[in-house]
Amino acid sequence: MSAALKLAGFAAVLALVFASAVLAGGAVGPLRDTSAAAEPHARGMAEMDAETGNVQSVRGLAVSDAGLTLKLTRADAETGRPFALAFRIVDRRGQTVRDFDVEHTKRMHLIVVRRDMTGFQHLHPTQQADGSWTVPVALPEAGTYRVFADFSHDGTPRTLADDLQVDGTVRSHVLPAPAQRVTVDGLQVRLTEGASHADAESELGFTVTRSGRRVAVQDYLGAKGHLVALRQGDLAFLHVHPDEDSLKFMATFPTAGNYRLFLQFKVDGRVHTAAFTQEVSR
C-alpha cells in the first residue's frame, strides 16, 4: 500500500472517531449546567419550596454571591491554640472590597460555629490598612467550623461563608431537643413566642429572669439583643430583624425542620449567649 493510501485511511478513521465523540457528547448533554436558570441553585442563595412554589431567600450557603467572595487566609487551625483569623472580601476582579455599611453598629460581623452547631462565637474583626479583616480566635474542639462573614455593602446585606478545619479526633454532639427555657450564667432565658410554620413570618420573643425576677437587659448592637438562626444540616443563615425596645425578633424560616437559635443579650455589662432548638413545621 502506498504512503498516500495509508494517510487517507488514517484520516478516515480519525474522522469516524471524532464524529462518534460528537454524537456521544450530544447524547449525554453538558457536564456542567452554566445556564442563568441554574445559577441561584449553584450559588446556594435561593431555594424553591416544593408546596408553595415560592423562592426562599437564604444566606451563608456559599462563599460567593453577587460578585463578592470571602477569602480566608487559612483553611485549618490547631485545636485550642489562639490564632489570628484573617480574611478579605474581594470583587469579581479579585480586588479587595474596603467599603462596608454600618449594620447593627458594626461594619463586619463574623460568626464561627462548628458543623454540629456547637462552639458558637460572634466576633467583630478589625479592618487593616490593606482592607483585610482580622480577629483573634481559639477553637477548643476538633471538627469542621463554618465561618460566616455577615455585612452590608452598597445598601444590601450579604452573608458569605467558608469552612475551617480543626484537626483531631472529632466528637460530635447531638442537637438538643426543643425547650422553652435554658439557663446560662445563672440567668433563666425563656422563649415565650416561637415559629410554627415554614414560609411565614414568625415572632420570636424572649424573657430573662434571675431567681424568678425579671432582669432588665442593656442595649447590645443597637438593640436589646442579637439573634442568629441556623438551619440544621446545611447551616443556612437566616436574617433576623430585631425590635429595638424588646427581646423580640421577626424571622421567616424557609423550610420545615430544626433550627438552632443563638440569642445574645447584655446584663450587668456582660454579653450572654443562650441557645435554643426550634422545630418548624410545614
Q: Is residue 254 part of a domain?
A: yes
Q: Are residues 156 and 186 in the same domain?
A: no
- Tell me the Ramachandran region of residue 5: left when phi exceeds 0, alpha when psi lies from -120 to 50, beta otherwise: alpha
Q: Are residues 195 and 264 in the same domain?
A: yes
CATH of the domain at 189: 2.60.40.3340
Q: Is the pLDDT of residue 132 over 50?
A: yes
Q: Is residue 9 part of a domain?
A: no
Q: Is residue 10 part of a domain?
A: no
Q: What is the pLDDT of residue 57?
A: 58
Of 137, 166, 195, the domain-final residue: 166
Measure the N-to-C terminal CA separation of the chain; round to a whole number of Å: 76
Lowest mean pLDDT among 33-42, 60-69, 228-237: 33-42
Average pLDDT over residues 177-186: 96
Lowest mean pLDDT among 70-79, 129-138, 235-244: 235-244
- Grid cell 475551617 is found at 164
Q: What is the pLDDT of residue 175?
A: 97
Q: Is residue 6 part of a domain?
A: no
Q: Are residues 136 and 220 in the same domain?
A: no
Average pLDDT over residues 193-202: 83
Q: What is the pLDDT of residue 5?
A: 44
Q: Are residues 149 and 227 in the same domain?
A: no
CA atoms of 106 and 197, how far apart (whole Å) = 32
CA angle 145, 93, 235 (to 5 degrees): 20
Q: What is the pLDDT of residues 202-246, one digit of tens each?
A: 899 999 999 999 999 999 999 999 999 999 999 999 878 899 899
Q: Among residues 261, 140, 245, which one has the least CA distance to residue 191?
A: 261
CATH of the domain at 151: 2.60.40.1930
Q: Is residue 11 part of a domain?
A: no
The β-bridge relationship of strands 270-280 and 55-57 is unpaired
Range of the domain at 239: 181-280
Q: Are residues 86 and 128 in the same domain?
A: yes
Q: What is the pLDDT of residue 118?
A: 97
Q: Are residues 221 and 267 in the same domain?
A: yes
Q: What is the pLDDT of residue 216?
A: 93
Q: Are residues 121 and 199 in the same domain?
A: no
Average pLDDT over residues 260-277: 97
Q: Is residue 256 part of a domain?
A: yes
Q: Is residue 32 part of a domain?
A: no
Virtual torsion, Cα 73, 79, 84, 85, nearest 10 deg: 40
Average pLDDT over residues 172-192: 96
The pLDDT mean for the chain works out to: 84
Q: What is the pLDDT of residue 40?
A: 33
Q: What is the pLDDT of residue 218?
A: 96
Lowest mean pLDDT among 16-20, 21-25, 27-31: 27-31
Q: Is the pLDDT of residue 17 over 60?
A: no
Q: Are residues 156 and 185 in the same domain?
A: no
Q: Are residues 274 and 185 in the same domain?
A: yes
Q: Are residues 162 and 68 in the same domain?
A: yes
In the chain, how many domains are there?
2
Q: Among residues 183, 203, 208, 145, which one has the least CA distance to residue 276?
A: 183
Q: Among residues 275, 238, 243, which one has the least CA distance to residue 253?
A: 238
Position with higher pLDDT, 25 vs 265: 265
Of 133, 166, 199, the domain-final residue: 166
Q: Where are the alpha helices (DSSP H) in the chain?
A: 3-28, 39-43
Q: Are residues 132 and 213 in the same domain?
A: no
Of 166, 197, 220, the domain-final residue: 166
CA atoms of 129 and 107, how far apart (whole Å) = 15
Average pLDDT over residues 114-134: 98
Q: Please tell me whether residue 160 adopts helix, strand or coil conformation.
A: strand
Q: What is the pLDDT of residue 241?
A: 84
φ, ψ for residue 94 (rounded to 5)? Answer: 85, 10
Q: Is residue 187 part of a domain?
A: yes
Q: Are residues 189 and 116 in the same domain?
A: no
